Structure 1
């Protein structure tokens, strides 16, 4: 059996909210929230699919992830359990992101009405104004690290952030210094790890949600639980490769490598971001985190480039000048000599994808020129 699939203009989050509710309760069509008119969209999807999320990762071609209402409800229920109950949500990220869809889905299942910020032009002033519209005592929001960093620069925004019961920060790696700064100001933040394939973040502060499970297979992170997606729209081959069953449990194989220590997951980076430099395995994500912790380098990006002696070596691309010797010493002290960046490239602006993440393919091509 199938059901209709509608594209919904995500530039107006209220349109997504209005279409999402009947999609989740089964009285309306499945939806694909999108900021433009997506091409090649089929007229129908499997009957149990409620939402399709189109993702564009930092590398690779876009994917269309099929989520059931049951998966989104399982994610919302597990989140509420960890948060100590339901509350009112502020939508501060675009409604076509899985984090945005989650905010709206949690609101639907808890029968609350979210406050929605405009999808473009995020500012501290707009956030403060939106937070003032929240009427519930228990209040939540989801942010990406760059939003949190921007808000911490405004005293009014810091005061608004401190009124939230919990703030989820995800979408990309969060610098430890940023989280420490927020917590020092009395702001309750939790990092989340997950993806559209897991109905959003299912690992909070390194530990799984109550109904989620994690494991490592050859250092690759795999996740399981009732919040897993049905697969990829019109891509059975990719679905079969990514979602695998073992001993009766269905697992999602991520693109990331990590380690689990005392039950806490530490994500080391993408599997394809691991390089061999001078015979030593180096995680570009770990190098990037170390660089971003330095003053003025919160937006720096690290990519790999050929090296005549080491084979491959990290290269830092930044919009803020930094002494390469100071940089190398700092990274070497934390991660070893093989991780020290070979050079620094200064550019006017970091190219971004529509998701707001760095366009690493474009940056890699810049390094190779």
Structure 2
């Protein structure tokens, strides 16, 4: 039996037994759609979060105190800041202090914002911010603030509460007591690294001198952010910081990416495995329906063998029917899964990433599932005795 005859018989059987072919197809289609949709969304999240992390700067290093192995809390100070600035390869460094949440009142309504103390170098180091209006902090600035657009116009507010040059009075807590401090807004910015449709939270960045005055930190620094001159200097500079300071934890963007990939790879494996179970279930269904089909076509197969068809020809015919189910179900399922992930991305701002290679992988997996499912029925059909098959009613 020629190959074109095998293919023709497979298509004829599929068109004659439309309901059976459709039921087999649906099982494979659902499994492939689930795999395609879930993996597309997971890969989209990976790309989106990766872009956000890289938006902070691939050559950025964060240094913060490590309390591991120390009986008393370890703190960073300006001496540590000067040591880091003196390390070869460091281009810029900025202290960062975090003051928690403060409240500000506008038009009779209270709103809330985080407050962070930084130096003028901070905005040169972090690539996450995009200035919309005004300017950033300079060395000689005192009672000024660069704020996010979410502070100027909170969610649900139709008109901006502040403009460049306006003063904002904040209420903050220090030592269990309420205090107030007034800042002049000199810049409005947005977080260009915010992804998945999110908006940067209400934040206020003020000079370190103002922060120390507000919270009386006595020279304590919560975190030191720095950038290297070249990306390939990041591991070298990180090692030098550990060597010189010893009592610190050093965090790089590469470490963030490694952690992200570990988490998302685990998520991808779990979700892909769950979706893959539906393909296995579909494979079991194919075994059942094809076994029934072989029983119904016993006399037909006996006639073919009596006319000269070999056992291998019969096996090829049954296997080609299973393969046809895998190809059609895989292609339609992959397209459906990609379409579903696009719809989810469009209406929920959850990113998705589909690729031809993923589509080929899904179709290939569907074909393998169907071929494996068709092995037992194909072997059974090829093993039929033509004389006994012709007697079958």
Shorter-normalised TM range:
under 0.3
Between 1 and 2, higher relative CO (CA 8 Å, sep ≥ 6) is seen in 2
Relative to its length, the structure with more strand (as a share) is 1
TM-score by length of 2: 0.20
TM-score by length of 1: 0.20
Which is higher, the Rg of structure 1 or of structure 2?
Answer: 2
